[in-house]
Chains A and B, each alone.
Chain A
Amino acid sequence: MQTPSATLVSRFAMEVASACFVMAIGALVCFGAREFGIGWGDAGPQPGYFPFYVGLIIVIASCGVLVQALLQRRDRRESFLTREQGGRILAFFGPMLGFVVLSVLLGMYVALTIYLCSVMVVQGGYRFHKAAAISVATAVISYVVFEVWFLVPLLKGPLEAWLGVH
Chain B
Amino acid sequence: MENFGNLMDGFGIALSFYHLALMAAGVLLGILVGVLPGLGAPNGVSLLLPLTFTMDPVSAIILLTSMYWGALFGGSTTSILFNIPGEPSSVATTFDGYPMAQQGKATQALTLAFMSAGTGALFGVVLITALSTWVAQFALKFSSPEYFAVYLLTFASFIGMGSASPFKAVVSMMLGFACAAVGMDGVSGNVRLTFGFTALISGISFLVAVIGLFGIGELLQTMEEGLRFEGLHARINIRDVFHAIYTLPKYWVTLLRSALIGCWMGITPGGPTAASFMSYGLAKRFARNKENFGKGDPNGVIAPETADHSAGTCAILPMLALGVPGSATAAVMMGGLMIWGLTPGPMLFIERPDFVWSLIASMYLGNVMAVVLVLATVPFFAAILRIPFSIIGPMIVVVCFIGAYTIAGSTLDLWLVLPFGILGYVFKKLDYPIAPMVLAMVLGDKAEDAFRQSMIFSKGSLGIFWTNSMLVASIMTIAMLLLFWPLIGKLIGRLRRAI
Contact = CB atoms under 8 A, between A and B. Distances in A.
A138 B398 contact: yes
A138 B409 CA distance: 20
Nearest to A124: B390
Interface residues of A, number: 67
Given A22-B171, A58-B178, A146 B402 contact: yes
A84 B223 CA distance: 11
A155 interface: yes
A163 interface: no
Given A44-B452, A54-B177, A85-B224, A96 B430 contact: no
Contacts of B417: 100
Contact of B174 (A58, A89, A124): A58
B interface residue count range (under 10 / 10 to 19 / 20 to 34 / 35 or more): 35 or more
Contacts, number: 166
A25 B430 CA distance: 18
A29 B178 contact: yes
Contacts of A55: 174, 178
A18 B192 contact: no
Contact of B405 (A29, A97, A108): A108
* Main SS at interface, chain A: helix
B430 A15 contact: yes
Contacts of B226: 84-85, 88
A62 B178 contact: no
B174 A47 contact: no
A155 B411 contact: yes
B220 A116 contact: no
Given A47-B187, A124-B388, A153 B409 contact: yes
Interface string A100-130: 1001100010001001100110011110000
B319 to A, nearest CB: 23
B69 interface: no
Given A51-B192, A99-B397, A92 B418 contact: no
Nearest 6 pairs between A and B by C-beta?
A124-B390, A64-B167, A44-B456, A61-B170, A92-B223, A51-B181
Interface of A: 11, 14-15, 18, 22, 25-26, 29, 32-33, 35-36, 40, 43-51, 54-55, 57-58, 61-62, 64-65, 68, 80-81, 84-85, 88-89, 91-93, 95-97, 99-100, 103-104, 108, 112, 115-116, 119-120, 123-126, 134, 138, 142, 146, 150-155
